[in-house]
Amino acid sequence: MSSQPRTAIVTGASGGIGSAIAAMLHEEGFALTLVGRDLDKLAAVASSFGSGPPVHTVSGSLAEETFLDQIVAEHSARYGSLDMLVNNAGVAGNREVGEITAEFLDEQLAVNLRAVILLTSKSMPLLEAAVQQRKSAQIVNIASNAGKRGEASLASYSATKFGVVGFTESLHDELSTSGIKVTAICPGLVNTAMADDYRDSVGADEMIAPSDIAEAIRMTIRVSRSCVVPEIVLLRPIEWRQPEGA
C-alpha cells in the first residue's frame, strides 16, 4: 500500500459543480490538479480549502488538444499517478434546433464530448499506475439528465451528453475488470451559473445543490472495491414526471 495521498484531476474546477467536487475530494484526502480557463478563479477555489494535501492549478481551454497534454504532463510531474479523473467541465447549449450554428455546436462538441474522450485516453497511463499502487482507480464523467432524455431547446447539448453517457458505458465494459471504475453522473437542474437562464421560473432552493453532486461522488469513492456504480441520476422532484392522466 502506498503512503502517498490519492490524487485527482477535476476539470471545470473554477466554480459551480466542479469546485464542490474538488472541495469534497480535498476533504477525502486527495491531492488535486484543478483545471479551468480562469486562473484567478481556480486560485480562489484552491485557497478556500485550507490545509491538507497539495493543490495544483492549470488554466487553458479544454478545446485545445495541446492543453489536454499539458494537464496530464503537469499532473504526472507532480504526483506520478492518478487515482481519479473527474471530467466535469461543460458548456451550456440552450437554443432551438433551427438556430444551431456550426460555432455554437462545435464548442459544445469540443468541451462536452471531445475533451472528455481525449483527456480520458491521455490519462490512461496515470490511471493504470494508480491501479498498480492501490489496485483501483476511478473515472467520473459529469453528463446530465439531458443525456438520458432529450429536451426541447437542448438538442445539441443533449446530443453531447448522450455521447458522454455512451462513452462511459463503453469504458465500463472495457475497464471495469482492470480495476478502473467508471461512473456517469446525470443531474437535473443544478444551482450554478449554468442554470441562470432558468432563474425566472425556478428558485435557487428548488434546484439541486452542487454539494449534492459532490456527495453522490463521495459515495462512489467509499463503496468497496468490489462495488461499481456505473451511473447516477439526480433529479428535482418535478423532473421526468409522467404527464397528468398518463
Ligand X SMILES: NC(=O)c1ccc[n+]([C@@H]2O[C@H](COP(=O)([O-])OP(=O)(O)OC[C@H]3O[C@@H](n4cnc5c(N)ncnc54)[C@H](OP(=O)(O)O)[C@@H]3O)[C@@H](O)[C@H]2O)c1
Least distance (Å) between residue 105 CB and ligand X: 14
> Site for ligand X (CB under 6 A): which residue of 111, 159, 184, 217?
111
| Other CB atoms within 10 Å distance of the CB of residue 83 | 26
Tell me the C-alpha distance between 51 and 177, whole Å: 36
C-alpha cell at 111: 468541451
187 near ligand X, judged by CB under 6 A: yes
C-alpha cell at 143: 453528463
> Site for ligand X (CB under 6 A): which residue of 142, 154, 165, 229?
142
Least distance (Å) between residue 6 CB and ligand X: 22
Beta bridge partners of residue 31, listed in sequence order: 7
DSSP 49-111: T-SSS-EEEEES-TTSHHHHHHHHHHHHHHHS--SEEEE---------GGG--HHHHHHHIII
37 near ligand X, judged by CB under 6 A: yes
53 near ligand X, judged by CB under 6 A: no
> Site for ligand X (CB under 6 A): which residue of 44, 49, 61, 228?
61
> Site for ligand X (CB under 6 A): which residue of 25, 36, 53, 57?
36
Q: Which of positions 85-104 make contact with ligand X (CB under 6 A)?
A: 88-91
**108 vs 84, 90, 119, CA distance in Å?**
24, 7, 16
209 near ligand X, judged by CB under 6 A: no
Least distance (Å) between residue 159 CB and ligand X: 13
Q: Which residues contact 97 (CB under 8 A, 6 or more apart)?
A: 155
Catalytically active residues are: 157
Run of H or E including 31:
strand 31-36
> Site for ligand X (CB under 6 A): which residue of 1, 152, 193, 246?
193
C-alpha cell at 65: 488538444
155 near ligand X, judged by CB under 6 A: no
Least distance (Å) between residue 33 CB and ligand X: 13
Q: Which residues bind ligand X (CB under 6 A)?
A: 12, 14-18, 36-38, 41, 61-63, 88-91, 111, 142, 144, 187, 189-190, 192-195
